[in-house]
Amino acid sequence: MKYEKKPFSCEEHVEILKDRGLKIPNEERAIKYLNTVGYFRLTGYMYHLQENDGTHKFKGEVSFDDIINLYQFDKKLRGIINEYLERVEVALRAKLTNYFSVNHGFFWLANKDLFADLVLYGGIIDEITEDFVDPQESFLKSFKLKYTSESFPPSNMALETLTMGKLTRLYKALKNDTEKMQIASDFNVPSSILTSWIIYLTNVRNICAHHARLWNKRVTADQPLIPSREKYKFKGEITSNFHIAIYGIISLINRLLSSFNPENSFIKRIEQIIEEHNIDTSLMGFPENWKKVATWHNE
């Protein structure tokens, strides 16, 4: 089957949306958004407002402003989640450096005996080694100029060059030795749970980094383990789609943040933008009475 849809101008898209029953009080504003955001991207904020019968007719009184409200909310949501995931990533990086360097020296990364998954480990080490041939970071350039006998950077520097994805794979590759278990303990979850969460949240971070729709997305890749042991299980309501919905994502991030920064403003900021944009939280996987039963109100 060939893709033979006809491209339309922004003005033509306005007319198409009007024909489908969308109220557009300010056509000039609508054209501006279509020209700078794009029709296809905005359709991700329309589907739940349209009939599911192939007509794409809008249900009831729906305005273009409602779509932009969701778009703006989603943009703020991604910004907040991205900001606080960075804090989790930085904390994980610091703990890896601190615990392993003290016990095994600054070149512990070169010690393959510390790793259980040598395939995963080998890929990361190869990348670090290759990058060190012609380093781009100024601190690596300075190190290489001064320490001419070294062909590999110390771990405190090497880890700073790893993305969140590579950092999570590195943690996963480690043997379940004292240091790895201590890091998990610092985050108040078992090592297997921490591995599962940070891999899953790396997918969420990638969604944010690529400015993709997040607010009602079901993130199904690398689904996280949800602890069942009383010591680690979530308090509050666990919904059926907790492991793939934004409600669960917020709960995971909040649990990790609370382990090293219990006074953080993550939940406060999330709840503020939900109220500001008058969002239907059921589409985010929230339970009905979430202001009382949400995990973050019961931890």
23-41 per-position pLDDT tens digit: 999 999 999 999 999 999 9
φ and ψ at 23, to 5 degrees? Answer: -80, 125
pLDDT at 283: 96
Q: CA 165, CA 62: separation in Å to the nearest integer?
A: 40
60 confidence band (pLDDT: 50, 70, 90) = confident
Q: CA 209, CA 203: separation in Å to the nearest integer?
A: 10
Question: What average pLDDT does the segment 191-201 reach?
Answer: 97
DSSP result, 81-124: HHHHHHHHHHHHHHHHHHHHHHHH-TTGGG-GGGBS-HHHHHHH
Predicted model pTM? 0.94
The distance from CA 71 to its chain's CA centroid, rounded to whole angstroms, is 18
The three-state secondary structure class of 127 is: helix
Please report, as a single letter, which amino acid is at residue 267.
I
Does position 1 have pLDDT exceeding 90, yes or no? no
Taking the alpha carbons at both ends of the chain, their separation in whole angstroms is 52
Mean pLDDT of the chain: 96
Q: CA 215, CA 283: separation in Å to the nearest integer?
A: 8
pLDDT tens, 221-273?
999 999 999 999 999 999 999 999 999 999 999 999 999 999 999 999 999 99
299 confidence band (pLDDT: 50, 70, 90) = confident
Please report, as a single letter, which amino acid is at residue 129.
T
pLDDT at 42: 97
φ and ψ at 94, to 5 degrees? Answer: -65, -40
pLDDT at 16: 96
User: What is the torsion angle, in degrees rounded to the nearest 10, for the CA atoms of residue 249, residue 253, residue 258 and residue 263?
Assistant: -100
Percentage of the chain lying above the pLDDT 70 cut: 100
Question: What average pLDDT does the segment 40-66 reach?
Answer: 94
Question: Please, are residues 45 and 74 in contact by the beta-carbon 8 Å criterion?
Answer: yes
Q: Which two tokens stand for residue 224?
A: 């996280």
Does position 5 have pLDDT exceeding 90, yes or no? no
